[in-house]
Amino acid sequence: NAGVTQTPKFQVLKTGQSMTLQCAQDMNHNSMYWYRQDPGMGLRLIYYSASEGTTDKGEVPNGYNVSRLNKREFSLRLESAAPSQTSVYFCASRTGTSSYEQYFGPGTRLTVT
Amino acid sequence: GENVEQHPSTLSVQEGDSAVIKCTYSDSASNYFPWYKQELGKRPQLIIDIRSNVGEKKDQRIAVTLNKTAKHFSLHITETQPEDSAVYFCAASTSGSSNTGKLIFGQGTTLQVKP
């Protein structure tokens, strides 16, 4: 099992450009999450998908959109990148049944200039 | 809104000493409290968790205690080793988390263990 995978690992964007961060899991998990991590701020939830076919906003959704493409894949889109979106982005998943444990991907380091 | 406060933000200890990190939460419906360890440049990984029906849980050198009345929980690491150096995050489940799995994370504690 590869677990949770994310692409790309690193990305540099100019202000106003768009991009999509990809996330996939091969553990047959129901729920998936996107977080951003900034120094001193911990992990903040951007969007989540409790199950295939549903998505909901987290704490900091502004400037982002998501798509739960199927049970395996959950993508995060920045339509018009801003310097404030410079961060490390983590995708996570959990079984969605009796376990609360979340498994994280390796992260994407995004810089917006 | 729902909030998790974590202290201290940085902690430096000598190898072999104990380290304690504390978190408080605001949502009285929270019933699951995990701790994650994140090494530099790596992903967060679960090291221990506790549910609200338990007051303490141990796993070798690490333990977590929970005081539901006071809404706080703590991570205890004994006999610290240099490889314990990392950032530690606490988290708490939120109302409705049984369906959504949502967690609110603390701000993180950078632990440095000096040899």
Q: What are B47-96's pLDDT values in tens digits? A: 999 998 889 999 999 999 999 999 999 999 999 999 999 999 999 998 77
Residues of chain A above pLDDT 90, percent: 84
Residues of chain A above pLDDT 70, percent: 98
The encoded tokens of residue A42 equal 């911990």
**Rounded (10°) CA dihedral B8, B76, B96, A27:** 110
- Spell out a b/e string for A41-71, using b for 16 or more CB atoms within 10 Å of the CB, else e: ebbbbbbbbbebeebeebbbbeebebebeeb
Identify the DSSP state of B104.
E
Task: Give the closest of B44, B46, B102 to A45, CB-based.
Answer: B102
Alpha carbons A92 and B82: distance in angstroms, whole number: 28
Q: Which residue of B has its CA nearest to A103?
A: B45
Cβ <8 Å between A100 and B45: no
State whether residue B67 sits within 8 Å of chain A by CB.
no
Interface test with A, best of B24, B35, B46, B102 (most A CBs within 10 A): B102
Q: What average pLDDT does the segment A46-74 reach?
A: 94
Tell me how far CA of residue A91 lies from CA of A35, A49, A55, B56, B98, in angstroms: 6, 11, 14, 30, 19
What is the least distance, in Å, from the CA of A80 to any CA of chain B? Answer: 26
Contacts of A41 in chain B (CB under 8 A): 107
